[in-house]
A and B are shown apart, each in its own frame.
Chain A
Amino acid sequence: MRFVALLVFILGIVASAAAQQDSQLSSQVDRLTALVEQQQKQIEQLQKSQADLLQEIRAQRPQSASPPTASAPVPAEAATTSAEQVSTQASSYDAPKERGFALGDRVRIGGYGSVRYEANDVKSGNNIPGGSANGFTFRRLVLTTDARPTSRLRIYSELEFERLLEIETEKSSFRAPGELTFKQTMEGNSGGAIELEQAWGQYDFAKNHGLRGGIMLVPVGRFNLLHDDDYWDIPRRTLTDRDGQVLPVKSAWRDLGAGFVGSWNVGKTGKLDYQIMALNGASLDFNVEHELVTKAGSPGESELVLNSELKLGSGFFDGSKSTSAFAWRAAYSPNLHGEFAFSGYRGTYNPTFLDFGESLTSFAYDHKWKYKNFETEGELVYTSLGNLNRVINAFGVAAFNSANTTVPSSSSGGLTSATVETELANMSRDRVGFWSDFKYHARPKWLKRSFLGRDFEDPQLIPIVRYERIWLNRLTDNIEVANGVVTGLTQENLQQDRFTAGISYRPALQFAIQAAFEHNRKINGSRLIFPAVDQDSTNGLILGMSFAF
């Protein structure tokens, strides 16, 4: 009986305790529920504040800087709530809104440039023809403007300041008793130039196909098209494209015309790019400096020396010449690793002092190929100037006759002899050249950790070697004219190669600090082609910096 009473007592205590615990748990659950509800309200309030802030941020952002809202707008509901169901079937989204026309939003100004320091063993000292003296060279600064009024229209221009520090003009007039004086002067550094390198518009009439017109780069070889200094890792342009040069006109060779540019996809990974254009054609430009020499002991006789420069230029831009040339380029890229291209130019160059034109023909092959960090790039160019002797003969006679009528002659009347000194401007009948680059994009870990790589996304060191060689055949050096008749031409074949080894430090893609050693070697002829000195070889150390923005 006692046992039963004890059991009932214990059960009672346990039941009472359990009831009390249930009550406590229940109240605890109630408290937690209230807390959850309270926090849920706070979350909702925070979400609402977040959505309001997002709306405010979007409203404050300029249109151009608010993608994806500019291009692929998120629905308003999605911005005010955190999630939104998107149908992949129905067209429930607005098309991209056209942005309002704003000059600052559609026109981009950029550019590139480079400077160089050179030390070499050229014996001739300073003022070396072609520019290869010891010292700094301000190679160029090119300002580019690029406008896209709409997605299918593009206007592009490049204005180049080459080796130019300043141009200053002065115009004044003075009045004095009995006279009036006008004075006009122009000052500037020697060898400098301001050039309009490109100025064209392009209308895309279809996807990847456009009609381009204006002053354009002639698409012969890859260097002329990719002549931006920041693209290259050696601080000197090639013999073939500039210093030699094998191209009819030194790079950047441009001309006025119109044509088509575009590409087709070939298979899954291939692509065929093309350019074809009609152009005014290269022009034969000349400068003549008269020098009259009277010969001692030969009364009545004078010798005229014409220091002349005869060279091909980028063409007529004033509508004074009929279009006489076309150029083309076809590049096939089987995949992203590289491309191979063939290109050509065919036209006539019509000297203004002659009544006939001669043919001008160029062919080029070029390629670029990369495998992991290795990269090779090269170009081969052939150029023929047709029957150049006929042009030079006619030029000599025309220059002589012109001088004979304007230069004071001896008392016996008329010049009896003349020497036409033609400055070397690469007027060879035909010429060939090639260059080939091999380089490696090194990204050592120490570079990224050191001050050279800190704060840069992909700093690189690029060791590079380049081999190039050019042949100038039948280069005219001198014209002998007597009594209005050409009596002799001095011509020779020149051949030269150049080996360059260097390293380029690129903290960023648009900026390079370069160092290169180059060795120029004469193979055939009386002198080097570049630098134009009477040496069998030259060595040089070139330090450069190139940049783009």
Chain B
Amino acid sequence: MEQTLRQVALTIAVVGLLLATAAAETLLTQEQALKIVFPKSESVTAETKVLIPEQRKTLEENTGLRFPEPDYPTFVATSKGQTDGYAVILNEIGKHEKITFIVGVSPKGKVTEVAVMEYRESRGGEVKEQRFLTQFRGKKASDPIRVNQDIVNYTGATLSSYAISRGVRRALALAHLLYGAGK
């Protein structure tokens, strides 16, 4: 009986410690994601870009990636009449499900920020963590942006790591084509 009480007390103590050190989980709304990507910008213009077949063909030939979506939600951030940067929201398949994330791109064509907005897979959610996403900062279209080359995959989240890397390459190509980022 005494031993059981000790076990119960220990369990309660462990749970209490965990609750005290942990915070509630939240998903990123579009507004929250934009604040992460453009923290200081005065205004952000949302646009919906529809690719014409020639643009789609050019993108696919240049990157070797597919651009099957009918349209792309993009954003242009400005402050005092100057363009701060661009952002694209993309979906990439991890293993079974789409991962929704935003990629910020500077006018010079470099990745400023990547933030996962919604993760639907059962495994591999670690790619939401900053220690994985920060390695994309500063990447440009001429970089490989590939797992095991200049990107370290997350053990246990390899497919998701591939998906995010692929999405960042697509976002840079779109920002370059649609807004001339990095030209």
Contact = CB atoms under 8 A, between A and B. Distances in A.
A509 B24 contact: no
Given A71-B100, A74-B30, A206 B23 contact: yes
B162 A509 contact: yes
Given A96-B29, A206-B25, A269-B131, A57 B70 contact: yes
A93 B30 contact: yes
B27 A372 contact: no
A72 B166 CA distance: 21
B152 interface: yes
Interface in B154-183: 154-156, 158-159, 162, 166
A441 B118 CA distance: 30
Interface stretch (A243-251, A260-268, A296-304): A260-268
Contacts of B24: 206-207
B27 A96 contact: yes
DSSP class of B's interface residues: helix, strand, loop or mixed? mixed
Contacts of A276: 14
Contacts of B15: 205, 260
Contacts of B77: 88
Contact of A339 (B25, B123, B155): B155
Given A271-B131, A338-B155, A82 B29 contact: no
Given A67-B91, A86-B45, A72 B22 contact: no
Interface string A87-102: 1100111011000000
Nearest to B97: A108
Interface string A54-85: 10010000000101101111110011001111
Interface stretch (A34-42, A145-153, A391-399): A145-153
Contacts of A70: 100, 118
Contacts of A96: 27, 29, 118
A396 B118 CA distance: 59
A50 B70 CA distance: 11
B148 A205 contact: no
Contacts of A91: 31
A74 B46 contact: yes
A68 B45 contact: no
Contact of A68 (B47, B89, B120, B131): B89
A54 B43 contact: no
Contact of A209 (B18, B41, B96, B130): B18
A65 B31 CA distance: 21
A335 interface: yes
Contact of A88 (B34, B120, B166): B34
A227 interface: no
A75 B23 contact: no
A152 B25 contact: yes
A154 interface: yes
A458 to B, nearest CB: 7
B21 interface: yes
B98 A209 contact: no
Contacts of A321: none
Nearest to B149: A372
B147 to A, nearest CB: 7
Contacts of B57: none
Contact of B27 (A71, A93, A208, A370): A71
Contacts of B89: 67-68, 72
A423 interface: no
Contact of B117 (A54, A71, A333): A71
A205 B24 CA distance: 8
Nearest to A87: B43
A54 B71 contact: yes
Contacts of B29: 71-72, 93, 95-96
B46 A207 contact: no
Contacts of A108: 96-97, 122
A86 B44 contact: yes
Nearest to A266: B131
A68 B34 contact: no
Interface string B40-62: 01111111101000000000000
B45 A79 contact: no
A78 B47 contact: yes
B86 interface: no
A7 interface: no
Contacts of B131: 265, 268-271, 335-336
A336 B23 contact: no
Contacts of A457: 162, 166
Contacts of B129: 265, 271
A269 B126 CA distance: 12
Contacts of B42: 88
Interface string B73-113: 10101000000000001010001111010000000000000
Contacts of A390: none
Contact of A74 (B28, B73, B162): B73
B154 A336 contact: yes
Contacts of A372: 148-149
Interface in A216-254: 226
A110 interface: yes
B12 to A, nearest CB: 12
A373 interface: yes
Given A84-B45, A457-B166, A509-B159, A336 B152 contact: yes
A72 B19 contact: no
Interface string A449-488: 0000000011000000000000000000000000000000
B159 A75 contact: no
B48 A85 contact: no
Contacts of A336: 131-132, 135, 152-155
B98 to A, nearest CB: 6
B73 A86 contact: no
The 4 closest A-B CB pairs, nearest first, are A206-B22, A72-B30, A71-B118, A207-B25
Interface of A: 50, 54, 57, 65, 67-68, 70-75, 78-79, 82-88, 91-93, 95-96, 108, 110, 146, 148, 151-152, 154, 156, 204-209, 226, 260, 262, 264-265, 268-271, 276, 333, 335-339, 368, 370, 372-373, 441, 443, 457-458, 509-510
Interface of B: 14-15, 18-19, 21-25, 27-31, 33-35, 38, 41-48, 50, 70-71, 73, 75, 77, 89, 91, 95-98, 100, 117-118, 120, 122-123, 129-132, 134-135, 146-149, 152-156, 158-159, 162, 166
20 contacts: A57-B70, A67-B91, A68-B73, A68-B89, A71-B100, A72-B29, A84-B45, A86-B75, A87-B44, A88-B77, A93-B31, A96-B27, A146-B123, A154-B122, A204-B25, A206-B24, A206-B25, A209-B22, A271-B129, A368-B155
